[in-house]
Amino acid sequence: MPKPESFPIEKIFVPTKQKKAIKPEIVGEIAESILEIGQQAPISVWRDGDRLVLVEGLHRLEACKALGETTILGVLVSAELAQHKPQLAERPEVEAERIKMARLKQLRLEKEAADTSAAALKGAGATQAPRTSPAKGVRDNPKASAGRTAKSTPKSLSDWITQQKSSGGRY
């Protein structure tokens, strides 16, 4: 296989028939992947005079354009090979790339969900209204000291365990 090289994006011509196959959601996923791990698979182009014609890699090309890149990794193939390009379904590396992209998307969604729930828990703890009724077991004794009647809320798990041990509670 030819060695990948860097090609200027503005010199790559995309045939009209290929332009109709653009799927924006795939372009977005590939752009996110390129931001996270870089471009893994080069596009294929063939030389037609002073311009390059795209053979394969439309979504990767569009993702790089969307990211503002001026160059893209690609391999130069012969015109004969471009006419007889294999179908995408027959290429196992394309399927592997698709699986990898789906896994990256899943990991990103899981991380965002975890961050959202952590932020919600943190926000809920800060916005809880203070109790208006006395704590359980506290009598209406105006002479009782405040330190003995109200328990402080623990700041960490180890503080909570220590508090439970000192008060005889089970944890």
Q: What is the pLDDT of residues 20-65, one digit of tens each?
A: 888 989 999 999 999 988 888 999 999 888 889 999 999 999 999 9
Pair 77, 7: CB distance under 8 Å: no
Position 34, amino acid: I
Give the model's confidence band at 146: pLDDT under 50 very low, under 70 low, under 90 confident, else very high: low
Report how far residue 28's alpha carbon sits from residue 65's, in angstroms, rounded to the nearest whole number. 11
Entry pTM: 0.48
